[in-house]
Amino acid sequence: DIQMTQSPSSLSASVGDRVTITCRASQTISSYLNWYQQKPGKAPKLLIYAASSLQSGVPSRFSGRGFGTDFTLTISSLQPEDFATYYCQQSYSTPPYTFGQGTKLEIK
Amino acid sequence: QVQLVESGGGLVKPGGSLRLSCAASGFTFSNYYMSWIRQAPGKGLEWISYISNSGTTLYHADSVKGRFTISRDNAKNSLYLQMNSLRVEDTAVYYCARATVGGTGKWFDPWGQGTLVTVSS
C-alpha cells in the first residue's frame, strides 16, 4: 500500500502569514493527490484535487503543487477561518486510497 | 443541493453487527462511485470502502475486509455499510462521500455529516 507522510504534524501561524504543508508519497502517484480541510466536529471539505486544481468555491489563497512523490499545499495569506486540520490523500490506481496523518494549523 | 445523510450508528458490543445507511439527494446517484471513510476519536481519516456506480466493483481496506461489506441501491439513492464482527478499534465516526472519477484521479466531495459507531462492552 502507498503511505502518505505529511509535515509538519502541527503548525502555529498568524493571520496574514504564508503557510506551506508538505505531503510525500512512498511511491510515485503522478498527480493523483487531493487536499482536504477539516474543522472540529465537521466533515472534511475538498480543497484541491489532482494536485493543483482548485475545487469550486474554495478561495484562491489556497493552491497546490507537485507531481510524483512530493506535493505542497500553500495558503498565501492566512485568514481566521483557515485554522483547521489539513489532510492529503492519494487516489492512484486501485484502492486503498490512503490519507496522510494530518497537519493541525493553529493560531500563534 | 447535493446532500449526503448518514444514519444507523450507535452503541454495539464487541462481536456485534450494525448497518449504516447514507441517503443521497441533489444529484444522479447512479452516475457516481461512492465511498465510506472513518475517523476514530482524536485520530486521522481512514478510507475503508469504495463501490462503483453500478455496484459491481467493490474494494475494502484490509482492516475491515471479510467483516464489512459496502453496497448500494440506486433505486433508493442509498449507500450502505454492513459491519459484522465489530471490534473496539472500529469505534469511529463513519462518513459517506461521493467520489468523482476524473482523468487525474478520484476525489471525494461532498461528505456527509458522519454517524458515530461505538463498540464497547
Minimum-distance CB partner of B45 among A49, A50, A99: A99
Minimum-distance CB partner of A99 among B46, B50, B100: B46
Set of cell numbers at residue A33: 493527490
Set of cell numbers at residue A76: 498565501
Does the beta carbon of A80 lie under 8 angstroms from any beta carbon of chain B?
Answer: no
Amino acid code (one letter) for B119: V
CA-based Rg of chain A, rounded to a whole angstrom? Answer: 13
- pLDDT tens per residue, chain B (121 residues)? 999 999 999 999 999 999 999 999 999 999 999 999 999 999 999 999 999 999 999 999 999 999 999 999 999 999 999 999 999 999 999 999 999 998 888 999 999 999 999 999 9
Rounded to the nearest angstrom, the gap between the alpha carbon of residue A87 and the centroid of all alpha carbons in its chain is 5
B75: left (phi over 0), alpha (psi -120 to 50) or beta: alpha
CA-based nearest residue in chain A for residue B99 = A91
Does the beta carbon of B112 lie under 8 angstroms from any beta carbon of chain A?
Answer: yes
Closest CA to B66 of B43, B79, B49: B49
Q: For A43-77, how does the pLDDT look when each residue is reduced to its tens digit (9 = 90+)?
A: 999 999 999 999 999 999 999 999 999 999 999 99
Amino acid code (one letter) for B56: T
Does the beta carbon of B36 lie under 8 angstroms from any beta carbon of chain A?
Answer: no
Does the beta carbon of A32 lie under 8 angstroms from any beta carbon of chain B?
Answer: yes
Tell me the C-alpha distance between B61 and A98, whole Å. 10
Tell me the C-alpha distance between A42 and A55, whole Å. 18
Tell me the C-alpha distance between B1 and A43, whole Å. 17
ω into B14 cis (within 30 of 0): no
Contacts of B33 in chain A (CB under 8 A): none
Average pLDDT, chain A: 97
- Binning pLDDT at 50, 70 and 90, where does residue A5 land? very high
CA distance A79 to chain B (A): 23
Contacts of A38 in chain B (CB under 8 A): 45
Set of cell numbers at residue B85: 464482527
CA distance B38 to chain A (A): 10
CA distances from A24 to A60, B3, B93 (A): 23, 32, 26
